[in-house]
Amino acid sequence: MSAFDAWYKAASQLRSDRFWRQHTYQNRFGVSPAAYADLFYDAASVMLDKITHTAKLASDGGLVIDRTLLAHAVRATTNFKGVTGNITLMANGFRVNTLARIHR
Q: Residues in the chain with pLDDT < 70?
A: 97-104
Domain 3-102 falls in which CATH fold? Rossmann fold (3.40.50)
pLDDT at site 100: 46
Pairing of strands 85-87, 80-82: antiparallel
pLDDT at site 98: 57
pLDDT at site 6: 85
CB 46 within 8 A of CB 74: yes
Domain residue limits, the chain: 3-102
Q: What is the pTM of this model?
A: 0.85
CA angle, 14 as apex, 8 and 89 as ends, to 5°?
60
CA angle, 60 as apex, 58 and 65 as ends, to 5°?
30
- pLDDT tens track for 32-58: 999 999 999 999 999 999 999 999 999
Burial of 82 (0-12, 13-18, 19+ CB in 10 A): buried
